[in-house]
Amino acid sequence: MCMDNRKRLNIPEKFAYVIRTGAGNLRTSEFKVSYAIAVGGVRAIALIGHNNCGMANLKAKEQKFIDGLVEVGWDRKAAEDHFNHFAPMFEIGNELDFVMSEVKRLRQRYPKVLVAPMMYKLEDNRLYLLKDDKSEG
């Protein structure tokens, strides 16, 4: 699931493995996912994105990101390199499209695991199950 520091979901004990990651981007947590599936026996994943996500259009925050690191003592060049190295892996573009593409990727990688695309809406605090090609018809 992806959730930032603004929200916390109430989940019963021993109910689920929870991986918090920017934008529900599991490309950066692949090993944890494999562990939960292979060792933990997980057979269903709810991939939860949310609107108004900080990882959407990350490129637009480049200057703020770099300035913010310089402010806490980073060398400017190192901060620029840091951003350029990691931004492509964390950039999601648009929240909705990203969740759908990430779900598709996970289904290919873990074919026997059920992966459901979901979206959390900050304004109404509700969770929405997204429709995709697989669930239609």
The yes or no reply on residue 4 touching Zn ion (CB under 5 A) is yes
Site residues (CB under 5 A) for Zn ion, limited to 10-69: 23, 53
The Cα–Cα gap between 47 and 87 comes to: 21
- Element containing residue 105 per DSSP (H, E): helix 95-109
50 is in an annotated binding site: yes
- Which is closer to Zn ion, CB of 18 or CB of 78? 18
- Which is closer to Zn ion, CB of 83 or CB of 98? 98
Looking up tokens 């310089």 gives 70
The yes or no reply on residue 118 touching Zn ion (CB under 5 A) is no
The Cα–Cα gap between 3 and 23 comes to: 7
What tokens were used for 20? Answer: 């918090």
Tell me the closest approach of the beta carbon of residue 43 to Zn ion, in angstroms. 26
The Cα–Cα gap between 16 and 48 comes to: 13
The Cα–Cα gap between 7 and 89 comes to: 23
Tell me the closest approach of the beta carbon of residue 31 to Zn ion, in angstroms. 21
Tell me the closest approach of the beta carbon of residue 49 to Zn ion, in angstroms. 7
The yes or no reply on residue 91 touching Zn ion (CB under 5 A) is no
2 is in an annotated binding site: no
Instruction: List residues binding Zn ion (CB under 5 A).
Output: 4, 23, 53
